[in-house]
């Protein structure tokens, strides 16, 4: 029995095996400008496999010989998977990248329907920052050491997992930091914005919320403001609270507070604007970190939720962020 999907006519065509799930009434992109036309089962359709495991699609009028390769699309695009795989430099992530692209092909991020990030939480944050202008959902698979934002790694059944996944929307924090030299640095943080002492002496911070001073002086190693997604990261290690994704609050947490000694922090509305002023900055230097962006010698830092940006994260059914938050508190 010969392959009816491939111009080669081979019975053992690997591309044919992957296309058996394509519905009988195929909708395909025509060569002329990407118009969608309906075709009766494979009638007038030419599909051929290339060495790179791609499929060339072209419209062939009845009675004419099969043409050469037309516009080249990946197997994932034919099946509407269109996955862009990104991987960290870790060996396990690179191996996973090779296995997944061999199975499902690779699609450029500009045409992709999904982005799959392979690595740990650090690489996931990097991927979210880099793809924020694409409005494409990101699905992570854990190939690193920490995978709170990641799903379990598996090559098989990925398209089905993507289609059934639950989506969470995350708004990042916008940071505006003023340095001692007068320069201004802006950054975005999905987890937290933190201020940390950069010298042997404790930091002294003044805290204002929505333009009103709430604490004249906090003597500490530092302080942070985190999102719900970041509440299980640095915030939790600093004994801050864990709270659900949909709670619309931020956590302000002190790091090793000396005065007031028992002050741990506060819960703030999601729309609150937080300002830290560094006191005695010349002898008590402080740096500010927004995820992977670090700003030394800051004089003041303003933090607010950026509602204009919404990162789309995908999680396997029953293993979303809400479930992970609960598990973390009972671990």
Using alpha carbons only, what angle is made at residue 260 by residues 178 and 205, rounded to the nearest 5 degrees?
A: 5
End-to-end CA distance of the chain: 56
Query: Which residues have C-beta within 8 Å of that of residue 77, sequence separation ≥ 6?
Result: 105, 107, 111
Q: Which one from 80, 99, 121, 289 is the annotated catalytic residue?
A: 121
326: alpha, beta or left? (left if phi > 0; alpha if psi -120 to 50): alpha
The values of phi and psi at residue 77, to 5°, are -70, -40
User: Residue 206 burial (CB < 10 Å; 0-12/13-18/19+)?
Assistant: middle
Whether 121 is catalytic: yes
Report the distance separating Cα 8 and Cα 320, nearest Å.
45
Q: CA distances (Å), 174 to each of 212, 295, 304, in order?
A: 19, 14, 5
Query: Which residues have C-beta within 8 Å of that of residue 6, sequence separation ≥ 6?
Result: 13, 15, 16, 47, 48, 49
State yes or no: cis peptide before 260, omega within 30 of 0.
yes
Segment (H or E) for 124: helix 121-130
- Provide the annotated active-site residues: 121
């Amino acid at each position: 029995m010969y392959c009816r999907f491939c111009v080669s006519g081979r019975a053992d065509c690997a591309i044919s095996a992957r296309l058996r799930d394509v519905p009988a009434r195929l909708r395909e992109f025509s060569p002329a400008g990407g118009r969608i036309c309906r075709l009766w089962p494979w009638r007038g359709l030419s599909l051929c496999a290339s060495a790179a495991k791609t499929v060339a699609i072209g419209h062939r009028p009845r009675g004419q010989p099969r043409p050469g390769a037309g516009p080249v699309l990946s197997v994932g695009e034919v099946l509407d998977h269109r996955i862009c795989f990104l991987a960290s430099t870790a060996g396990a992530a690179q191996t996973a990248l090779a296995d997944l692209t061999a199975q499902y092909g690779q699609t450029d991020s500009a045409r992709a329907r999904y982005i799959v990030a392979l690595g740990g939480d650090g690489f996931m944050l990097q991927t979210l920052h880099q793809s924020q202008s694409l409005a494409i959902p990101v699905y992570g698979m854990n190939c690193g050491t920490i995978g709170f934002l990641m799903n379990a790694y598996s090559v098989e059944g990925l398209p089905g997992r993507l289609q059934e996944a639950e989506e969470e929307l995350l708004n990042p924090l916008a940071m505006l930091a003023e340095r001692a030299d007068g320069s201004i640095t802006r950054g975005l943080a999905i987890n937290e914005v933190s201020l940390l002492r950069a010298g042997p002496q404790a930091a002294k911070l003044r805290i204002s919320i929505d333009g009103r001073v709430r604490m004249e002086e906090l003597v500490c190693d530092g302080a942070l403001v985190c999102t719900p997604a970041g509440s299980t990261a640095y915030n939790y290690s600093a004994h801050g609270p864990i709270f659900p994704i949909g709670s619309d609050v931020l956590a302000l947490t002190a790091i090793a507070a000396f005065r007031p000694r028992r002050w741990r922090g506060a819960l703030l509305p999601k729309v609150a604007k937080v300002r830290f002023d560094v006191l005695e900055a010349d002898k008590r230097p402080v740096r500010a970190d927004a995820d992977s962006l670090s700003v030394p010698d800051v004089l003041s830092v303003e933090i607010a939720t950026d509602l204009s940006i919404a990162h789309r994260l995908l999680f396997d059914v029953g293993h979303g962020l809400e479930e992970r938050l609960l598990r973390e508190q009972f671990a």
